[in-house]
Amino acid sequence: MSSALNNIVAIFQKEWRHYFGSPIAWVALFVWTFLFGAFFAFGVWWFTAQASQMAMMGRNSSLNDQLIRGLFQNMSVVAMFIIPMITMRLFAEEKRQGTMELLATVPVTDTQIVLGKFLAAVALYALMIAASLLNFAFLWQYATPAPEWKPIATGALALLLLGMCYIAIGVVLSTRTQNQMIAGVLSFCVFLGLLVLGWYGGDSMGGWFKQTLGYLAVTSHMEDLIKGVFSLKDVIFYATFALFGVFLAQQSVASSRWRA
């Protein structure tokens, strides 16, 4: 057990060093935090303007409904563009350089390789989310009343779980090609398809087919979480989806090694 864990950690550290030894991590962090900050600043401005108008009409405004929820929804779309940058090289570059054959000669299993790479990508994505959450310190410092912490915590969890599913898909697609750009474009196309699937299947009045499609769309399971409602069934869905993606990636690596 300790040997397997050591192998996963070794793969994790290798990928982590590669992320920060190249522009990938820095560009991803910059783009993510910049867009998060831009959406946050615009949201605060818009909320302030709307709050003044609503106060004149004797109505209350909600930070959760008018700022925080929309912010997390916007960043879920940004994740579709950023995550392919993180995942596209994980296996495609190894194949192009011929280092996958070297990994096959060391005492490490396909599952350990996939898990190490997957967890490194998830850790980088989690760091991006954590860095962007510093924006909310501004609200607790100056907003009256201060926002509730629960929608922020569950919204961040929703972004992380959604990203884990996207990363799992990206890892699978990276195992199928030697070209990073092809892996990245394919990943984005699949993410876009899942988003459209959520729109098409989001009609609760539709038939069972539409409702099934809506359930399978990963974006539809964010709704309760970004409202501050912790839903165990949504967390289980995301965890199952990500684990299934890791399993598919492991099978893909194993089949590639068998063909070689």
Q: Rounded to whole angstroms, how far apart are CA atoms 243 and 135?
A: 31
Segment 156-182 shows an average pLDDT of: 93
Higher pLDDT, 143 or 169: 169
Q: Give me 235's structure tokens.
A: 């967390």
Higher pLDDT, 11 or 104: 11
Lowest mean pLDDT among 106-120, 211-225, 233-247: 211-225
Contact 220, 81 (CB under 8 A): no
Q: How distant, in Å, are the alpha carbons of 32, 64, 152, 153, 167 from that of 67?
A: 18, 6, 11, 14, 27
Contact 113, 174 (CB under 8 A): no
Q: In the prediction, which pLDDT does 51 show?
A: 64
- What is the DSSP annotation of 141-161? HH-SSPPPHHHHHHHHHHHHH
pLDDT, tens digit, for every residue of 84-129?
999 998 888 877 776 766 666 677 888 899 999 999 999 999 999 9
Does residue 203 surpass a pLDDT of 70? no
pLDDT band of 62, cuts 50, 70, 90: low
Q: Rounded to whole angstroms, how far apart are CA atoms 191 and 86?
A: 14
What SS3 state is found at 201? Answer: coil
Contact 23, 130 (CB under 8 A): no
Q: Can you point out the beta strands (E) in 8-152?
A: none
Torsion-angle region of 228 (φ positive above 0: left; ψ -120 to 50: alpha; else: beta): left
Does residue 65 surpass a pLDDT of 80? no
pLDDT over 90, % of the chain: 42
Q: In the prediction, which pLDDT does 92 show?
A: 84
Query: CB neighbours of 75 closer than 8 A, spacing ≥ 6?
Result: 32, 35, 36, 39, 132, 159
pLDDT band of 47, cuts 50, 70, 90: confident
Contact 216, 237 (CB under 8 A): no
Q: In the prediction, which pLDDT does 55 show?
A: 55
Q: Rounded to whole angstroms, how far apart are CA atoms 238 and 120?
A: 18
How many domains are contained in the chain?
Answer: 1
CB contact burial 179-218 (16+ within 10 A = b; e otherwise): ebeebbebbbebbeebbebbeebbeeeeeeeeeebbeebb
Segment 23-51 shows an average pLDDT of: 88
Q: Rounded to whole angstroms, how far apart are CA atoms 41 and 256?
A: 47
Q: In the prediction, which pLDDT does 137 show?
A: 82
- Could you give the residue ranges of the DSSP H alpha helices within 22-109? 23-56, 63, 69-87, 92-97, 99-105
What SS3 state is found at 104? Answer: helix
Q: Which residue is listed with tokens 């993510």?
A: 32
Q: Give me 35's structure tokens.
A: 């867009």
Does residue 201 surpass a pLDDT of 80? no
Does residue 158 surpass a pLDDT of 80? yes
pLDDT over 70, % of the chain: 81
Segment 140-156 shows an average pLDDT of: 78
- Structural domain harbouring 81: 2-259
Segment 28-50 shows an average pLDDT of: 88
